[in-house]
Each structure stands twice: as C-alpha cells, then as structure tokens.
Structure 1
Amino acid sequence: MSDRVVVIIHLTVAGYGDEFDAGIAAVHAAYRRVSWVTDRIEGLLRTELLTDSADSGDLLLVSEWTDLDAFHAWREGPDHAGGARNSALKPFQDRSRARHFVVYRSIEAH
C-alpha cells in the first residue's frame, strides 16, 4: 500500500461562452501563476493540467502528493488559504458539480 494521494480539481471555461479560446488561454495563464506550479511545496510531487479529449472545455487539475498529511499541511497553511496566486484558478472551478475537487488515496500501484 502507498501513502500517495492524488487531488483532482474540476475546471471549466463554460463562463466564457463564445470566447472559448480566450477561456482556455486564461486557464493556462492562471495555472502558470499558482504557487504550487512555480514554487517548491513540500510533499508535492507534480501537477498536471488535463483536458477531455471530447470536450476541451472540460479540464482537470491533477496534483500528486507524497501523503495526505502533506496535502493537508499545504491546504491549511498560508500558501493556500491566503495565497493570492492560488486563487487564480478559482474562477474556473466547476462548482456545478456536487464536489468540485476530490482527494484519492493510492491503495495499490505497480
């Protein structure tokens, strides 16, 4: 068993309507501004921005952490809660979902 966790945040550019390309560009720009992309965060192994191959306006932000404690330490710390750069992606969070983000624990890996 692994302690590793993967956090998935659902993003959307639905609010951009006809300006779809501008919305995608804005998500990319916001992603490059958030601290856990530009700075070293203890316990954060990697981040990745994914798009649905059938609907490029449906995006996922995936982050991989060494363990749940590392993720919670960051989430409850000043880098997340008060970090202005971290709010850059907030307008793109897909709040139409019951949960706009989920935290998965790795139970087996090969």
Structure 2
Amino acid sequence: MSGAVKVLLYHRTGDVGGIEAAYHRVSRELAGVPGMLGNELLRSRHDPASFVVISTWESTAAFDEWEQGTEHKNTTAPLRPYRDGELARPFGIYEVTARY
C-alpha cells in the first residue's frame, strides 16, 4: 500500500469553456498545497457532458488536513456549479492499495 489518496469529483455540464476555466482557476489556487501531488480534468469520450476532476494526495492525512481547513470551500467554489447533481454523492475518495 502506497498511502496515496485519489479524490474524484464528478461534474456534468455542456459548458465546456466554463468548467475548463473554473478548473484552471481552482488549480492555480491549489498550487503548492502541502501533500497535493497534482490534479487532472477528464472528459468522458462516451458522454461529452460528463467530467471528472481527479486530485492525487500523498496521504489521507494530507487530504484531510486541507479539506478541514478554512480555505477548502472558498478555493473550490468555482467548480461547485458544475457538480453532477444527479448523483447521490458527486465525489469519491479512494486509497491506492496497489501500484505498478
């Protein structure tokens, strides 16, 4: 087990320019956050309105510390309007248990 954590945020929109702009804005603000190793914006090839933001963290503790901090909600606010409201939980948190 590596200890790394992947956080997936599910989004749904036809506003490609809007979600891309929000993603870049949030990513610039997250640059340098302790424990965050990077993030990506993915668009589904099967459903062009479906997007996922995946962030990678060095540990659960690093992610939890950031998530419980005072800036978490303000920093990620630009992406919030694009969350997939059809899902019961528009996010997932996964621990890396194996890697090659």
Match of 1:102 in 2: 92
Higher helix share: 1
1:69 aligned partner, one-letter code = A
Q: Deviations over 1:50-72 (max 9, x none)?
A: 01111111000000000001101
RMSD: 1.0
Map 1:6-85 → 2, pairs under 5 A? 6-13=6-13, 20=14, 23-34=15-26, 37-38=27-28, 39-81=31-73, 83=74, 85=75
Unaligned runs of 5+ in 2: none
| Count of residues paired in the alignment | 98
Give the structure-2-normalised TM-score.
0.93
1-side partners of 2:72 and 2:76: how far apart?
Answer: 6
Q: Identity across aligned pairs (percent)?
A: 30
Moved over 4 A (4+): none
Deviation of the 1:100 alpha carbon: 0.3
Deviation of the 1:32 alpha carbon: 1.0
Of the two, which has the highest radius of gyration?
1
Asked if 1:91 corresponds to 2:88, the answer is no
Deviation of the 1:97 alpha carbon: 0.6
Unaligned runs of 5+ in 1: 14-19
